[in-house]
Amino acid sequence: MTTGKKNKDLSIEIKLHEKISAQLDGSLLTLKGPKDETKREFSDKGIKIEHKDNTIILKAPKFSKMNKKRIKSYAAHIRNMARGCMEAYKYTMKICSGHFPMNVSVSNDQFIVKNFLGEKVPRTLKLKAGASVKVEGNLVVVESASKEIAGQVSADIEQLTRRTGYDGRIFQDGIWIIDKDGKGMQ
């Protein structure tokens, strides 16, 4: 027995804020808002993206579980892009140094950690484009219009000070995420 649901089209409409302008160039969606601009490539041939007025329409020719999952994922990405255009995603990290005083700085798209556990060679990280990193006392603040870039830069900084083979209960030195865009981690 088949239901009529499998032959129906699947579509989702996403209304954008009036301050956000959208541009669709093939499969590249660009959203510009008062704070920043975000771009993302949606290159799935099974899902069509349309832009009318201030609405993004996602369509799939056939209703299937896989198409439903893809469309909902794309809709979530577009909503995250729209929110990033209105207000930046902000991750807060804490510098913890119990054994040796750590010196953390940002210069020329490089994140530099000196004297981590008494090491003579500084640890450096090349920052991704689109992320703003500031060191404020014992806090590091990462901001970006893209949720993915803000999260990845924060994770990269956290991994920069990772030490394997040490007891984490004793050696708690490092830079740790304490706040993910308003969702406290404590």
Q: Which two tokens stand for residue 92?
A: 């807060």
In percent, the amount of the chain with pLDDT more than 70 equals 94
Handedness of CA 59, 63, 66, 68 (dihedral sign): positive
Per residue in 27-55, pLDDT tens? 899 999 888 889 999 888 888 898 888 89
What is the C-alpha to C-alpha distance for residues 32 and 18, in angstroms, rounded to an integer?
Answer: 11
Cα–Cα distance, 71 to 60 (Å, whole number): 8
CA 176 – CA 152 distance, rounded (Å): 13
Give the global pTM: 0.83
Question: Which domains are delineated in the chain?
Answer: 4-86 (3.90.930.12), 89-184 (3.90.930.12)
User: Each residue of 85-106: pLDDT tens digit?
Assistant: 999 999 999 999 887 888 999 9
Q: What is the largest CA-CA distance in the chain?
A: 71
